[in-house]
Amino acid sequence: GHGDLRGIPPAVARIVTLLADALFLAVADKLLLLLVCEYPEDVLVKPTLGLDASIVCWEGQHAWVAAFSLVAFGLYLPLSVMIAPMITEAETTQEETDRESKRAKNKKVKDVQFAKPFLSMMTVSKCFLVIVVSFFGADSLEVSIVATAFISILMGFLTFKWYTTAQPQPVP
């Protein structure tokens, strides 16, 4: 059916899961840092890249690097938000199917599944954090702290709500 991934090699699934979940903040941050430019007060002075003040923004080599970064981020974000949760859930379902016969002999075990919308919401929250910190918190530690605290509280709340509303189901 729609949204049901099958036939993905386990190595590819693990790489996508690693890039989309564990390394999301690092990869997204690096892709966005290539777009962060510092604009001086004097309008006659050209903006420079936040990472390296010797590089003029949106000209020469930076134009190509920025274009690559935008395209990569445009592909990476949907992969992380929409495709990776389906791969994670498909892996979990397959592992449970493999172990189902072993569990049938034992007593019923409760298991919590993280559904696709929950995983997507977590990734969108992390993306919001990366964007806020990259573009607005570069010069201000306070902005970074407030954004991180807000997203942490939001993710904690969403996790708690998800856990209390998505009741674990007995595994036959």
Give residue 71's pLDDT band: very low, low, confident or very high (50, 70, 90).
very high
Residue 138: pLDDT band with limits 50, 70, 90: low
Asked which of 3-12, 30-39, 65-74 is least confident by mean pLDDT, the reply is 3-12
Phi, psi of 43, rounded to the nearest 5 degrees:
-70, -15
pLDDT for residue 109: 43
Q: How many CA atoms lie within 13 A of 14 on its CB side?
A: 3
Q: Looking at residue 100, what is its pLDDT?
A: 55
pLDDT of residue 163: 77
Question: C-alpha distances in angstroms, 73 versus 34, 64, 154?
Answer: 11, 14, 24
How confident is residue 108, by pLDDT bands cut at 50, 70 and 90? very low
Cα distance between residue 35 and residue 136, in whole Å: 13
Q: What is the pLDDT of residue 103?
A: 52
